[in-house]
């Protein structure tokens, strides 16, 4: 069993360095950082963490092939993996259509585009050269290959929909399924196992994370307030299946998004989050501190978005 933590890319870069060091000292196996639009870029964040730590794994959670071309993803990943001494875990996914819409950017054929992105990244990491062709992306020429050495960097697929869950089992080295609510793990794991079986793969070869949101603070009210803010920001980017399972309508999340995103009033939007929608994550009281850092917790109060849990 492994434990990891995921953080949003909305903190000052120096904070991630401190948090990565605390997580490493506390025994966490990995730290993952998101790459959501119009916040801080994940590559310099994880690069700073790489030079400040020695053991902990570093993960992107996630980068997408619509705003970052797969060739660029490969270049950045190879450089960061080299810098970190082979500690990178590359999380990719189709991204959130809600956020891509801010750019007026379509998201055609997300399943096919994501699958082909994984195949081409794996080929590049293996030192293979084009031409590459396949569903979802234009053909690449014979000039498409990495000019620098690499290892087979493990590729993790972020997923919320049933078809993406199955694709984890069919193609990825690991899976980052967001469990909304947390008790969905068995259901999601069964879908991944089904995809693995169809592809003739062994589930033992797939690193499947139980990705849940956790907010930790001194008082439950503080933990819930922090979780509400994150839910308000991301709720409308969640899949219809997730919202349906919670008994929440798309109209409700769209109204929250209008206040949080276009209106820029995250505090008011957080107040609109219903108890049903808050079931997306877990709010908890902090019970202990990290012994080596008496003034900081491993998760830091009011930073909910922890990723991972038992794997």
State the chain's mean pLDDT as an integer. Answer: 90
All structural domains of the chain with their residue ranges? 214-284
Contact 165, 159 (CB under 8 A): yes
pLDDT in tens, 125-183: 999 999 999 988 899 999 999 999 999 999 999 999 999 999 999 999 999 998 888 99
Farthest CA pair distance, the chain:
59
With tokens 């009210």, the residue in question is: 221
Contact 59, 88 (CB under 8 A): yes
Q: What is the reported pLDDT for 288?
A: 53
> For residue 309, what pLDDT band results from cuts at 50, 70 and 90?
very low
Q: What is the reported pLDDT for 308?
A: 46
Q: What is the reported pLDDT for 293?
A: 36
3-state helix/strand/coil string of the chain:
CCCEEEECCCCCHHHHHHHHHHHHHHCCCEEEECCCCCCCCHHHHHHHHHHHCCCCEEEEEEECCCCCCHHHHHHHHHHHHHHCCCCEEEEECCCCHHHHHHHCCCCCCHHHHHHHHHHHHHHHHCCCCCCEEECCEEEECCCCCCCCCCCCCCEEEEECCHHHHHHHHHHCCEEEEECCCHHHHHHHHHHHHHHHHHCCCCHHHCEECCECCEEEECCHHHHHHHHHHHHHHHHHHCCHHHHHHHCCCHHHHHHHHHHHHHCCCHHHHHHCCCHHHHCCCEEEECCCCCCCCCCCCCCCCCCCECCCCCC
CA distance 273 to 278: 7
Per the confidence metrics, is the pTM higher than 0.85? yes
* Pair type for strands 174-177 and 57-63: unpaired
Contact 179, 211 (CB under 8 A): yes
Residue 76's contacts (CB-CB under 8 Å, 6 or more residues apart) are 43, 68
Percent of the chain exceeding pLDDT 70 equals 92
pLDDT in tens, 175-220: 999 888 899 999 999 999 999 999 999 999 999 999 999 999 999 9
């Amino acid at each position: 069993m492994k434990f990891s933590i995921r953080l949003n890319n909305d903190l000052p870069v120096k904070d991630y360095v401190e948090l990565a060091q605390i997580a490493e000292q506390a025994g966490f196996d990995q730290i993952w950082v998101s790459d959501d639009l119009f916040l801080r870029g994940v590559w310099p964040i994880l690069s700073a963490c790489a030079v400040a730590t020695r053991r902990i794994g570093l993960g992107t959670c996630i980068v997408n092939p619509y705003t970052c071309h797969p060739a660029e993803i490969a270049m950045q990943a190879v450089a960061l993996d080299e810098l970190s001494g082979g500690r990178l875990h590359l999380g990719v996914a189709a991204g959130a259509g809600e956020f891509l819409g801010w750019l007026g950017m379509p998201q055609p054929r997300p399943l096919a585009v994501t699958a082909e992105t994984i195949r081409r990244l794996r080929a590049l990491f293996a030192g293979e050269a084009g031409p590459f062709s396949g569903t979802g992306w234009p053909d690449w020429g014979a000039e498409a290959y990495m000019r620098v050495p690499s290892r087979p960097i493990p590729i993790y697929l972020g997923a919320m929909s049933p078809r993406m869950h199955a694709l984890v089992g069919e193609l990825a080295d690991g899976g980052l399924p967001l469990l909304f609510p947390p008790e969905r793990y068995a259901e999601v794991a069964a879908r991944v196992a089904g995809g693995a079986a169809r592809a003739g793969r062994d589930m033992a070869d797939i690193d499947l994370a139980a990705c849940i949101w956790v907010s930790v603070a001194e008082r439950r009210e503080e933990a819930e307030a922090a979780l509400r803010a994150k839910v308000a920001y991301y709720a409308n980017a969640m899949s219809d299946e997730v919202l349906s399972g919670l008994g929440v309508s798309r109209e409700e999340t769209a109204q929250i998004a209008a206040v949080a995103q276009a209106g820029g009033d995250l505090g008011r939007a957080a107040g609109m989050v219903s108890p049903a929608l808050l079931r997306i994550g877990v709010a908890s009281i902090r019970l202990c501190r990290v012994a080596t850092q008496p003034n900081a917790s491993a998760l830091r109060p009011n930073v909910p978005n922890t990723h991972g849990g038992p794997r």
